[in-house]
Chain A
Amino acid sequence: MRPGAHAAAHPASGERAQPLAGLQALLRRARRLGLLAALIAVWWYVSERVLDRSTRALLPPPQAVLRAAWDLTRSGELWHHLHDSLKRELVAFLWACTAIPLGIAMGSWKAVEEQVDPVIEMLRPVPPLAWIPLSILWFGIGDTQNEFIIFLGCFFPILVNTVSGVKGVETNLVRAARCLGANVWQILWRVVLRAALPQIVTGVRVGLGVGWMALVAAELVGANSGLGFLINDSRTILRTDYVIVGMATIGVVGFAIDRAIRIVVRRLMPWSQALAR
């Protein structure tokens, strides 16, 4: 009933339908934020109405957190911690990209996989966080320690996805390249890598996500800067508003990284529909 009515109304209203449709689309999007808004309202209610003056410090109301975010942003402190965290994530990620050639080698040559696979399978189930004590002893407090932990978080998802992507490359694509005169390296570079790329990107997305989570844990205990450090440092002085600002920043940035990858993928790989959503 409703869709029919819409279709009939549109041509009649002509030009004026345009801004109206835009408004409708906006409303539809806003509706998706309903639960989020409700949760923030509950937060506000609990903080303002349920907690009293002495316990409110444990859960400051949303507006106090916003004010804290403004303070931290203006003083440059938030930016400083975010910058350090992002830098570590990036450095570790670049190192973790070595998983791509390794994964291609493992997926292409049985001899390589036979040797590497047992090592990987032993190391993979160890959570990155379990490495933190050793990492601190090896690298001390600071960037290298953090980057090592993030690297561990990033590396395995990228590797596992690359290997399975390479193994899933259609035989006929490789055969087509071979009978068109491509040599081994041209096949790996021009065909296997490209054909496996959608899945490699999936690995990168997962890897960056896991790395971002590992980063915060690594910074909680072994850093003098970064968002994890900010959270833990604020806890010691009971600035729960700063703690929440740090947490929210981690969430928003993690989300933004994932979104950015999706957009890049859609731009660079229009042929890959699997990731278009």
Chain B
Amino acid sequence: MSAVAFSGVSKLFPGHGAGDEAVLALREVSFGVADQEFCSILGHSGCGKTTLLMMLAGFEAPSSGRILVDGRLVDRPTWRRSVVFQDYALFPWMTVEENIAFGLEMKRVPRAERRAIVRRNIELVGLQGFERRYPHQLSGGMKQRVSIARALAVDPEVLLMDEPFAALDAQNRSHMQEEMGRILASADPQVRKTMVLVTHSIEEAILLSDRVVVLTRRPGRVKAELRVELPRPRHESDSGFLELKQRIRDLIHDELEPEH
């Protein structure tokens, strides 16, 4: 059980005066993510969606409002909410294996078990044969696979992803999105995670999510919440997909016009 609840979350970044004014990044954001649900947070760059995710992870505190996971207040990071970062954030001095094993070491998982979990996750993301490589020897797509495997290895209750595929080229991105869809579909429903994905790609959100939360421009507020009921695996050419895409695009396009 790992339901996430944002209630009235605002974030104000204090300025330092003289041309550096305080910025209200998020205003009164409230929504929930059900247990085992895949939820995407969609919005323009600068709408505070990454800030929202970092607060859910526990790296930053909301200026007001509360974030609850399973009814407990989020006040610090924990392996129960592991993060996949846009820039991968792999430890460059560790091999692929060591990166994936890091969280398990922190959890004091015994060596033999650790090895088995690492192997399982390497297989899950399809990195067999690259166990001993260092991150600088890998392509962007492979690095992001390592990052996903590392985050999954600690067996989190909620997996947080911050634009995980944004830094990849178009071809790699759609490949990784497909793979992610495969991982989601194949994962044992018993151990299926609650997932929160931050993205600016409408297609990515529809492809992967059970639900999409659309944020407004700064200061970010919840503009709309949509359920995605399409059967998996989903294809960008399906009529239901296209229809939903158009709806979300209209919602976001609204945002391009200045608000009054």
Binding site for B on A (CB under 8 A): 170, 172-173, 175-183, 186, 190-191, 194-195, 197, 269-273
Which of B91, B135, B154, B160 is within 8 Å of A181, CB to CB?
A: B154
Which of A170, A180, A183, A270 is within 8 Å of B154, CB to CB?
A: A180
Q: Identify the stretch in B61-69, B74-82, B119-127, B246-254 within 8 Å (CB) of chain A at 4 or more residues.
A: B74-82
For chain A, what secondary structure do more than half of its interface residues adopt (helix, strand, loop), or is it mixed?
A: helix
Name 13 A/B residue pairs within 8 A (Cβ), A-sorted: A170-B87, A176-B89, A176-B90, A178-B58, A179-B151, A180-B79, A180-B106, A183-B106, A194-B91, A195-B92, A271-B93, A271-B136, A272-B93
Which of B102, B136, B160 is within 8 Å of A180, CB to CB?
A: B102
Which residues of the other chain, B, contact A269 by a CB distance below 8 angstroms?
93
For the complex, is B134 an interface residue (Cβ under 8 Å from A)? yes
Say how far B54's CB is from chain A's closest CB, in angstroms: 8
Which residues of the other chain, B, contact A172 by a CB distance below 8 angstroms?
85, 87, 89
Which residues of the other chain, A, contact B160 by a CB distance below 8 angstroms?
179
- Beyond A186-B106, A271-B134, is A178–B91 a contact (Cβ under 8 Å)? no
- Beyond A269-B93, A271-B92, A271-B136, is A177–B102 a contact (Cβ under 8 Å)? yes
Count of A-B contacts judged by CB separation below 8 Å:
73
Asked if residues B93 and A175 are in contact (CB atoms below 8 Å), the reply is no
Question: How far apart sit A5 and B168, CA to CA, in the bound complex (Å)?
Answer: 40
Asked if residues A197 and B77 are in contact (CB atoms below 8 Å), the reply is no
Which residues of the other chain, A, contact B77 by a CB distance below 8 angstroms?
175, 178-179
Say how far B229's CB is from chain A's closest CB, in angstroms: 31
Say how far B136's CB is from chain A's closest CB, in angstroms: 6
- Give A176's nearest chain B residue, CB to CB: B89
Question: How far apart sit A191 and B89, CA to CA, in the bound complex (Å)?
Answer: 11
Say how far B2's CB is from chain A's closest CB, in angstroms: 15
Give chain B interface residues in 78-115, CB to chain A under 8 Å: 78-79, 81-83, 85, 87, 89-93, 102-103, 106-107
Asked if residues A182 and B89 are in contact (CB atoms below 8 Å), the reply is no
For the complex, is B211 an interface residue (Cβ under 8 Å from A)? no
Question: How far apart sit A9 and B232, CA to CA, in the bound complex (Å)?
Answer: 59
The 4 closest A-B pairs by CB, nearest first: A180-B103, A181-B106, A172-B89, A181-B79
Report which residue of A172, A177, A191, A273 has the largest number of chain B beta carbons within 10 angstroms of its beta carbon: A172
Asked if residues A181 and B103 are in contact (CB atoms below 8 Å), the reply is yes
Number of interface residues of B (CB under 8 A): 28
For the complex, is B150 an interface residue (Cβ under 8 Å from A)? yes
Which residues of the other chain, A, contact B13 by a CB distance below 8 angstroms?
none
Say how far A188's CB is from chain B's closest CB, in angstroms: 14
Question: How far apart sit A178 and B54, CA to CA, in the bound complex (Å)?
Answer: 12
For the complex, is B31 an interface residue (Cβ under 8 Å from A)? no
Asked if residues B106 and A179 are in contact (CB atoms below 8 Å), the reply is no
For the complex, is B197 an interface residue (Cβ under 8 Å from A)? no
Which residues of the other chain, B, contact A176 by a CB distance below 8 angstroms?
83, 85, 89-91, 150
Question: How far apart sit A175 and B134, CA to CA, in the bound complex (Å)?
Answer: 20
Asked if residues B59 and A181 are in contact (CB atoms below 8 Å), the reply is no
Asked if residues A180 and B150 are in contact (CB atoms below 8 Å), the reply is yes
Asked if residues A173 and B91 are in contact (CB atoms below 8 Å), the reply is yes
For the complex, is B195 an interface residue (Cβ under 8 Å from A)? no
Say how far B87's CB is from chain A's closest CB, in angstroms: 6
Asked if residues A273 and B136 are in contact (CB atoms below 8 Å), the reply is yes
Which residues of the other chain, B, contact A270 by a CB distance below 8 angstroms?
134
Asked if residues B93 and A179 are in contact (CB atoms below 8 Å), the reply is no
For the complex, is B57 an interface residue (Cβ under 8 Å from A)? yes
Which residues of the other chain, A, contact B151 by a CB distance below 8 angstroms?
179-180
Known: A176-B91, A180-B150, A186-B106. 11 other contacts (CB 8 A): A172-B85, A172-B89, A175-B77, A176-B90, A178-B77, A179-B77, A180-B79, A190-B102, A195-B93, A271-B92, A271-B93
Say how far A174's CB is from chain B's closest CB, in angstroms: 9
Say how far A179's CB is from chain B's closest CB, in angstroms: 4
Which residues of the other chain, A, contact B135 by a CB distance below 8 angstroms?
271
Question: How far apart sit A176 and B88, CA to CA, in the bound complex (Å)?
Answer: 9
Asked if residues B57 and A197 are in contact (CB atoms below 8 Å), the reply is no
Asked if residues B58 and A179 are in contact (CB atoms below 8 Å), the reply is yes
Question: How far apart sit A176 and B79, CA to CA, in the bound complex (Å)?
Answer: 10
Which residues of the other chain, B, contact A175 by a CB distance below 8 angstroms?
54, 57, 59, 77, 83, 85, 89
